[in-house]
A and B are shown apart, each in its own frame.
Chain A
Amino acid sequence: MFDNFPLWPQRASSMAGNVDALFIFLVILSGMMTLLIFVSLVYFAARYRHRKGVLAEQIEGSTPLELTWTIIPFGVFMVIFAWGAVVYFQQRTPPRDATEVYVVGKQWMWKLEHAEGQREINSLHVPVGRDVKLIMTSQDVIHSFFVPDFRIKQDVVPGRYTVTWFRATKAGTYHLFCTQYCGTQHSGMIGSIVVMEPAQYEAWMSGGSTGPLSASGEKMFAELGCATCHRSDSQGRGPNLQGMFGKTVLLEDGRLVTADENYIRESILDPGAKVVRGFKPVMPTFQGLVSEEQLNALVAYVKSLTPPSAPGGRNTAMSSPDSTSGQGSQVQ
């Protein structure tokens, strides 16, 4: 469309077309309904304009008609609902083995960290065609991660992780907006998603990072003394974390929970909330002792202790970034 007068967002992700299809269907449907009502109003108003000597005809109603125009719209609505639900399921189900990027929103900037370790502020570089899963939290108030050209949006909530995902289909630079009002510079909390051809992306990736996120997580794990209790055998005072990510955990009070990112995070910040059966509630809390970024690193490390389960395996790790050459928009 016109460059400085866009009437439609770009379609730059695998989901964009699905969302657009439903939207266009709704536009057509609504257009037809609107036309129907408008034309009826205008036609009746003209055709039945008051005339001398002509009285209105009193019509009580018509139950069959009422039922018709109740049931048919309801049926149409159910179709829309179902279609919307299908699209929504896809939007909220990240593919297995998606590359993970940890996002921390804070007033008024986005901090992103690739699993491979690159850090970015207000920008995200991704290759075309790669599934990318964003694991997001906020450091302060609620924000919302919105990329119109990908048709993705997810609120970023303090105190927990929320997740969204996309697969970019077209190289280019796309708007990133914060779209949950968050204070003074809410409209300045914007950035870009830079989608690159795979070769370019490799080049960008190799330009400097501090090593994979899980590596810094491993370091923290040792520094904070986690390894003392969470040993890789069954002798520790804390559960063995090898292979536990994604599994169902039986808790002391009988509940069954899934060991996902939020579970790991909660276990670090509020260990008494979900004590694993067979263990004593002796883990100290690390609330206030770790930043959001450090939490992300620890979560990434614990996840790395579980080998990928899908037969295809995790997406092959990128070549280890060479930290001697700095590059562009990364921030150490």
Chain B
Amino acid sequence: MSDSQAVVPTAAHEDIHRPALLHHFATEEQQRDASNLGMWIFLATEVMFFGGLFCAYLIYRHWYFGDFGAASKSINALLGGVNTAVLICSSLTVVLAIWAAQTARRGMMLAMLALTMLFGLVFLGIKGVEYRDKFDENHVPGASFSFEKVPIPSHPDQYANPQHAQIFFALYFIMTGLHALHMVVGLGIFTWLFWMAWKGRFTPEYYTPLEIGGLYWHFVDIVWIYLFPLLYLIDRHP
């Protein structure tokens, strides 16, 4: 972690050549470092935010393993897997967009940003299909919830406890719902980044918003990479 920067003894506004430098920063390097550190810290708060849910989930999964296995089996691992691939690809396109900015490839940068958003929309679409399936099967927690006579995968002679299954689904919807909300926000951020890129704001010298937007997107991707096996792949056998 570098210490403070070299002296820049001026308060005058020399924006002509450095329009992106905000006046309270001494140098562009300081500004970029501050933005990066800020985003990393924000991601740390997001880890703690999701962390509470993961904690609750892990505890109940430990206590109600069989019931959670039964509930997990009823969500579509194929769709979940496809979504995982979609998100991983979208993280690739984000990286490529940044590389394109670094190497002044405007066309590619715009294309990669658009592709990222497309992948994000595909993800949300598939998620919507999954949610609708759960709604149709009465697996949405609440008054119409029903999970009768569903066998536990590793002990097929035993039926899952519907109350415990409801807890699984409650956590499933809250965790994936919160994740989806973050995706939506991410789409909003990338829309804005696309617009900035379109306007030519990014140069090989200045692409910090892309970097920190990219960090956010990668984080949302990583959360999904944890969610997928934990939620979809309990007690699955080929």
CA distance A215 to B168 in the complex (A): 40
Shortest distance in angstroms between A239's beta carbon and chain B's nearest beta carbon?
A: 16
**Contact across chains for A272 and B157 when beta carbons are under 8 A apart:** no
Q: Which of B63, B64, B157 contacts A281 (CB 8 A)?
A: B157
Interface flags, A224-258, vs B, CB<8A=1, else 0: 00000000000000000000000000001000000
**Contact across chains for A281 and B161 when beta carbons are under 8 A apart:** no
Interface flags, A36-78, vs B, CB<8A=1, else 0: 0000000000000000000000000000000000000000000
Interface flags, B51-64, vs A, CB<8A=1, else 0: 00000000000011
CA distance A117 to B168 in the complex (A): 41
Interface flags, A271-287, vs B, CB<8A=1, else 0: 01101000011000100
Q: Which of A272, A280, A285 contacts B66 (CB 8 A)?
A: A272
A-contacting residues, B128-178, CB 8 Å? 155, 157-161
Main secondary structure of the interface of A (DSSP, over half): loop
CA distance A285 to B164 in the complex (A): 13
Shortest distance in angstroms between B176's beta carbon and chain A's nearest beta carbon?
A: 26
The answer to whether the Cβ of A140 comes within 8 Å of any Cβ in the partner chain is no
Most buried by A among B67, B158, B160: B158
CA distance A270 to B167 in the complex (A): 15
**Contact across chains for B161 and A270 when beta carbons are under 8 A apart:** yes
Shortest distance in angstroms between B129's beta carbon and chain A's nearest beta carbon?
A: 32
CA distance A222 to B68 in the complex (A): 34
- Which residues of chain B are near A252, meaning CB under 8 Å? 155
Q: Which of A270, A281, A285 contacts B158 (CB 8 A)?
A: A281
CA distance A280 to B159 in the complex (A): 11
18 contacts between A and B (CB under 8 A): A252-B155, A270-B161, A272-B66, A272-B67, A272-B158, A272-B159, A272-B160, A272-B161, A273-B63, A273-B64, A273-B161, A275-B158, A280-B157, A281-B155, A281-B157, A281-B158, A281-B159, A285-B161
Q: Which residues of A are in contact with B by a Cβ distance under 8 Å?
A: 252, 270, 272-273, 275, 280-281, 285
Q: Which residues of B are in contact with A by a Cβ distance under 8 Å?
A: 63-64, 66-67, 155, 157-161
